[in-house]
Structure 1
Amino acid sequence: MCPPTYFDVVYEINPWMDLGVPVDASRALAQWEHLRATYEAHGHRVDVIDPVPGLPDMVYAANGGVVVGGRALAARFTYPERRPEGAAYERWLAAAGAGITSLGQATEQNEGEGDLLLAGDVMLAGTGFRTSRAAHAEVAALFGLEVVTLELVDPRYYHLDTALAVLDGGTSPATIAYLREAFSPASQAELAERYPDAVLATPEDAAVLGLNVVSDGRHVFLTDRATGLHDRLRERGFEPVGVDLSELLKGGGSVKCCTLELRPATVPSTTTTTAVLDEEARA
């Protein structure tokens, strides 16, 4: 995770950002600290990357890269305002140790776990606004995974992790939740075929970034505002853990955006994450 030391809305690159709405920096930091403490209270270790002055969106650590089997690929951002973040995350990943090997920065337009969500042995990959289709091919080659391209069509859900959540990657197929309306008809059909038992989110829950979650296979950390989704998760045997990140929502992010998950090549003796390494990866 990256603390929101320099978080602010100083440009508009997604529909959530509004230069006319001020950011309360102290409240943003308090909410971020609460999320970190919540992870730790549930048995996860949080590693922290130092924020860089002039990079207000660096708090959205999920966008910094993707780590699978100890191999880490840093992001190559779409907008020039965020491009220096890729280098900052690449440096951190290169020095992380603990079973993490850096592959450097992506050569294709790629916004990390914002658009690349590991669902068991499949990588679900978003495109349409930020991450290119060419990046999907690059990820497939580097990680040796099946990559399923999903086209996003609603600019409010500009990253896959705002429209789809992996709840349990240990089932076959993985258990996911998603908002149908955020995807093209072809991608809706793909999701329905692959995940017939998925949790379907309502537009109301998605509109507060309720799908921007981190799950360890049992606990689902998400905004406290997505109350309908909380109920559906309980019905499916999950334990929703509500967190208030309303200040960070002003930049277009919530729980998952603040969380880059590490999946090292070797399993340490204690639970660890950069944001959160899920419990399932340590089973």
Structure 2
Amino acid sequence: MTQPHDLHGAARAPHDETRQRILMCAPDDFDVRYVINPWMEHQIGRTTPSLAREQWRNLRALVAQSAEVEQVTPAAGLPDMVFTANAGFVLGAIAVVSRFRAEQRRPEEPLFRAFFEAQGYDVAPWPEPIPFEGAGDALIDRGADVVWCGYGMRSAAEAPAALERIIGRRVIGLRLVDPRFYHLDTCFCPLARGWLMYYPPAFDDASRAAIEKIVPREKRMEIDEADAMRFACNAIDLDASVAMNDASPQLQKRLRDAGFAPALAPLSEFMKAGGSAKCLTLKLSER
């Protein structure tokens, strides 16, 4: 039987269906060259490429302990392609390619579309004028049968309804109100067994009420501003473990008490561009 191939024709092993599959992109051309979020202010040209590569490799090794890691080839001149969370949103066999708000990132769209098509996904059409930034703003809840979709910064207010029509699953829109937390995955992290780690001040009143209606009080792990600024919510939920840039000792204890193992992987270079662990990964499947 012929093995599946990647974009460049190299044979790859069949998937291990017992593990999550996660997409990453090496930081070959990563740098801060423009400003499209507050974290990038005063950071142009201030990244250290060797340190970025080391931090990325450490994160990849950590993720590979719990998941099957796939990689898409980076393209020169697209420094933010490393943030694969923004490639699109995947649910089962459906892939929705992002429609970037910032023109600097729009050249990534055909590359990620080609990746999804080569992988055999059903690439769903997305309404042309509606910005939507993939799994940076659309996150699958791991307790309720819903998808959460952030809007107001990068993704448009119409994005949740458009996504719901495509995937046929209930999508709950959450309005982001703090520019520092411009994507949902910077302030909101659904965890296994229905737990949620999030920073409530990043949302308007109606969105906080929507969260409280779906997620039981005992499962809501609210974090403070200090941990939010460490991008503690920009974490990768790997069932029992949670890979993250940093977290206070208090938050780490709360995670352990809830049955999770916090795994720290410092990502200072990527924080300069407004991204951390979750931003550097895209879930292609969950168990």
Q: Specify if TM > 0.5.
A: yes
Counterpart among 168, 185, 192 of residue 212 in structure 2? 192
| Runs of 5+ consecutive residues of structure 2 not aligned to the other structure | 1-23
Distance 2:127 2:53 in 1: 30
Deviations along 1:117-154, whole A, 9 cap, x unmatched?
A: 01142010001101112221111011001010101100
Deviations along 1:38-61, whole A, 9 cap, x unmatched?
A: 11123x111000111111111100
Q: Does 1:61 align with 2:84?
A: yes
Match in the other structure for 2:169: 145
Q: Does 1:202 align with 2:249?
A: no
Matches within 5 A, 1:192-231: 192-195=212-215, 196-197=217-218, 198-231=220-253
Give the letter aligned to residue 124 of structure 2.
Answer: L
Q: CA deviation at 1:105?
A: 5.3
| Partners of 2:151 and 2:159 within 8 A in 1 | no
In the TM superposition, structure 1's runs of 4+ consecutive aligned residues that sit over 6 Å from their partners are none
| Partners of 1:72 and 1:104 within 8 A in 2 | no
| Runs of 5+ consecutive residues of structure 1 not aligned to the other structure | 264-280
Counterpart among 104, 126, 140 of residue 118 in structure 1? 140
Match in the other structure for 1:275: none
Distance change (3 Å), C-alpha of 1:139 and 1:20: closer
Counterpart among 121, 124, 148 of residue 103 in structure 1? 124
SS in 2 for 1:156: coil
Q: Does 1:261 align with 2:278?
A: no
Q: How many residues align structurally? A: 258
User: TM-score, structure 2 length as denominator?
Assistant: 0.86
Deviations along 1:135-183, whole A, 9 cap, x unmatched?
A: 2111101100101010110000000000100111xx4xx2211101110
Q: CA deviation at 1:19?
A: 3.8
Distance 1:226 1:111 in 2: 29
Distance 1:165 1:223 in 2: 13
Deviations along 1:4-35, whole A, 9 cap, x unmatched?
A: 11111111110100344611011101110111
| Partners of 1:122 and 1:146 within 8 A in 2 | yes
Which sits farther off after the overlay, 146-155 or 11-20?
A: 11-20
SS in 2 for 1:210: coil
Q: Does 1:79 align with 2:102?
A: yes
User: TM-score, structure 1 length as denominator?
Assistant: 0.87
Distance 1:29 1:16 in 2: 20
Q: CA deviation at 1:248?
A: 0.7
Distance 1:106 1:214 in 2: 29
Percentage identity across paired residues of the two chains: 38
| Partners of 1:9 and 1:19 within 8 A in 2 | no
Q: CA deviation at 1:104?
A: 5.0
| Partners of 2:231 and 2:246 within 8 A in 1 | no
Give the letter aligned to residue 179 of structure 1.
Answer: Y
Distance change (3 Å), C-alpha of 1:31 and 1:106: farther
Matches within 5 A, 1:26-45: 26-42=50-66, 44-45=67-68
Match in the other structure for 1:243: 265
Give the letter aligned to residue 267 of structure 2.
Answer: L
